[in-house]
Amino acid sequence: MIEAKNVSKSFGDNLVLDEVSVKFEPGKCNLIIGQSGSGKTVLMKCLVGLFEIDSGKVLYGDRVFSKMSFDEMKMIRQEIGMLFQGGALFDSMTVEENVMFPLSMFTNQTPAEKLERANFCLSRVRLENANKLFPAEISGGMKKRVAIARAIAMNPKYLFCDEPNSGLDPLTANVIDILISEITREYNITTVVNTHDMNSVIEIGDRISYIHKGKLWWQGNNESILKSDNPELNEFVFATELTRKLK
Amino acid sequence: MVEIDNLGLDSVGIVAFISTFMGAVLCIQMAFNIDTPLVPLYTIGFVTRQSVVLEFSPTIISLILAGKVGSRVASELGTMRVTEQIDAIEIIGINPATYLIFPKVVAAVLINPILILMSMIMAIFGGWLAGVTTGLVASSTYIYGIKAFFESYDIVYAMIKTVVFAFLIVSISGYHGFYTKGGALEVGTSSTKGVVHSSIAIIVFNLILTQLLLS
């Protein structure tokens, strides 16, 4: 389990996170939702240690991650996989090399073993025959799938996905959602997904945390979110004509 | 090896081209400035060699490399930063500065002295070619001048400067690239800052090192 306890983060005078406390459970897709600029990405970056928090704690199980040095964090980071918004694939490496990169850094596997693992991860995200292509040669959806394959290469305990559907068509976005959900259950991973895509919320939202103005505003799941009487949440969830009609 | 190829071997062509032509110009200018028979003609070769070894190759070529290599390093790292590739490296548990900048520094420190030695040879050759083909100086006289009053310490001095300049170019440009914030515009700004700041550092350290090593 990952837990944020009273986490606050500001940039200059701008308080982005205001004493946010939230738990993320293993084997479930834990969604962080909210409007653009609400603090979702900052919260995620605080959880993985890319931003240093001003106050509060981030715990991985009973380990206080936010108080660790870089070397101590390194151990936990080897248990983390992360899917970045733009994929963040290494331009100079092929698809296969991108997936093998963490294995090359942290395991003593032979090249054949690394290749076998990379092929397994790529087939798991249904991306065969793209091994030798460079990121510039593949589509946005394929990039996301390669990024997922890289993220799961080390058998992570924790998977973070920052807006996995941004820039994708609805069909591809749905494929990515299902993939994340399947991987989460299959390996009992604690998955944290940042999104403002309502399709994802309905599709995979086992546990949903709504962030509004830097505060945790509401928590529930993909069923209770549609029945909530929280006005700010309803404004976000039923922002479009389509969702209003669905309601 | 990849970094040595990217930062050094890719620059061989431009270094050879500029050095040959600058050596030729140095020789011709020197020849035209000797207008008294009291100054022996081998001075052309001697002065060309001294100018090339002491200043032109280590400093001017390093300034050119600051433009070429510095902008490459800063824009490469800047793009990696804005596309979250550096964050991805950090998340995997690797220190991104060590992983990305250190090999570039080592590569530049190893390959730049070789480039500068090549530049010296090409510039002296360019001077010989210009002097002989224009009839300003005989081949044997020029070669005599090249060998005259040779101090091996001059080469040591040039190599020390080269290594320091190589370190400055990559570390300063790397710093600007690594800490880029924003998007494409900021990558350009980082690249410019990397080149300008490393060029300034080269000029300042050139004075400091000359004072320390030659005075």
What is the count of residue pairs from A and B with beta carbons less than 8 Å apart?
Answer: 42
Q: What angle do CA B52, B56, B58 make, to 5 degrees?
A: 100
CB-based contact, B87 to chain A, within 8 Å: yes
Least confident range of A102-116, A166-180, B58-72, B82-96: A166-180
More confident residue, A171 or B61: B61
Residues of chain A in contact with residue B83, where contact means CB-CB under 8 angstroms, are 86, 88, 91
The answer to whether the Cβ–Cβ distance between B93 and A106 falls below 8 Å is: yes
Q: Is A85's Cβ below 8 Å from some Cβ in B?
A: yes
Percent of chain B with pLDDT over 90: 67
Q: Which residue has the higher pLDDT, B99 or B8?
A: B99
Residue B35 has what pLDDT? 76
Q: Does A43 contact B at CB distance below 8 Å?
A: no
Domain ranges of chain A: 2-246
Is any Cβ of chain A less than 8 angstroms from the Cβ of B92?
A: yes
| Arithmetic mean of pLDDT over chain B | 91
- The 10s digit of each residue's pLDDT in B12-38 is 999 999 999 999 999 999 888 887 778
| Contact call for residues B66 and B198 (beta carbons, < 8 A) | yes
CA nearest to A98, candidates A134, A44, A68: A134
Q: What is the CA radius of gyration of chain B?
A: 20
Contact A133, A95 (CB under 8 A): yes
Domain that holds residue B201: 2-214
Residues of chain A under the 50 pLDDT cut: none
- List the single residue in A with minimal CA-CA distance to B94: A74
B33 touches chain A (CB under 8 A): no
Cα gap A154→A75, rounded to integer Å:
12
Interface touch A73/B95, C-beta < 8 Å: no
Q: Using the beta-carbon criterion (under 8 Å), do B87 and A88 form an inter-chain contact?
A: yes
Any idea which of A199-203, B144-148, B191-195 has the lowest mean pLDDT?
A199-203
pLDDT number for residue A90? 92
- How far apart CA B43 and CA B39 sit, in angstroms, is 7
Tokens of A137: 């040669």
B132 neighbors B145 (Cβ within 8 angstroms): no
Is B95 an 8 Å CB contact of chain A? yes
pLDDT value at residue A247: 67
Domain A2-246 has CATH 3.40.50.300: yes
For A:92-111, CB contacts with B below 8 A are 101-102, 105-106
User: Which residue intervals of A48-139 are DSSP H helices?
Assistant: 70-77, 95-106, 111-124
Q: How far is CA A183 from CA A51, A97, A178, in A?
A: 27, 21, 9
A82: nearest CB among B83, B88, B94: B88
Distance CA B190, CA A165 (A): 30
Q: How far is A227 from chain B (nearest CA, A)?
A: 37
CB contact under 8 A, B88 and A88: yes
Of B79, B80, B91, the CB nearest to A82: B91
Structure confidence at residue B168 (pLDDT)? 95
| Res B63 pLDDT > 90 | yes
Please compute the mean of the pLDDT values over residues B117-136 and round it to a whole number.
Answer: 93
pTM of the model as a whole: 0.83
Q: Are B52 and B45 in contact (CB under 8 A)?
A: no
Q: How many domains does chain B have?
A: 1
